[in-house]
Structure formats: structure tokens, C-alpha cells
Amino acid sequence: MRSIERRRGESKWGSSMMTLAAGDDGLTLFVVTVLVLGAAFIAGLVFMVIDMRRHMKATAVQDQRCPRCNYDLHGAPHERCPECGSVTTPLPPDRAKSAR
């Protein structure tokens, strides 16, 4: 078989500038890419969960549900959730009828 001589700094596919000076295999570039994409994915999940919780709390009062545990509070005569014990703010009677 014929051997191909490579100059220093060149890989089988070209210059090592493309591999972030990681050598022939580009392992450093791969690791950096995986770490950045993984961090972006986790940050996206965190923001999605925060947004979902914020949305649930905003709609819970209108739907007459506990903002903490999402328990149905229709017809509950008191201002505490019977499920988790958190203090809830009941809707005024005119809004309670229109929310149903």
C-alpha cells in the first residue's frame, strides 16, 4: 500500500484549524459541541417548566383551582385548599358565575 505523507498540522481531511486545534480526530470540538448543546437543551427545559407553572397559576384562579396543587375548588366555602392547605383567593361572585 502506498503511504501518504502528511505535513504537521494536517489531518486526513484537511487542516487542523477546522478541528479547533484538537488534533486529527476533533475530539475537543465534539466535546465542546455536546456540552454547549446539552446546556442549551437543559436551559430550554428549565424555562419551559417555569413558563408552564406560571401559566398554570395564572389560569388556576380563573378556573377555580388551587394554584399550588391544582385541586378543584368549585363549591369550597373556605379560603384554604382542602388538599394542600394553601390560602386561596376566591373569585368575586359575579366572576365565579361567568368562569363556569
Residues 94 and 54 in one domain: no
Res. 3: pLDDT tops 50: yes
Q: Name the percent of the chain lying above pLDDT 70.
A: 61
Average model confidence (pLDDT) across the chain? 73
Residues 13 and 50 in one domain: yes
Q: How many domains does the chain have?
A: 2
Residues 29 and 3 in one domain: yes
Residues 71 and 58 in one domain: no
- Which residue range forms the structural domain that includes residue 51? 1-62
Who's near 29: CB < 8 A, 6+ residues apart? 19, 20, 22
Q: What is the pTM of this model?
A: 0.45
Per residue in 46-92, pLDDT (tens digit) is 999 999 988 877 776 677 778 778 788 777 777 788 878 777 766 55
Res. 14: pLDDT tops 70: no
pLDDT at 1: 46
Residues pairing with 87 in the sheet: 80
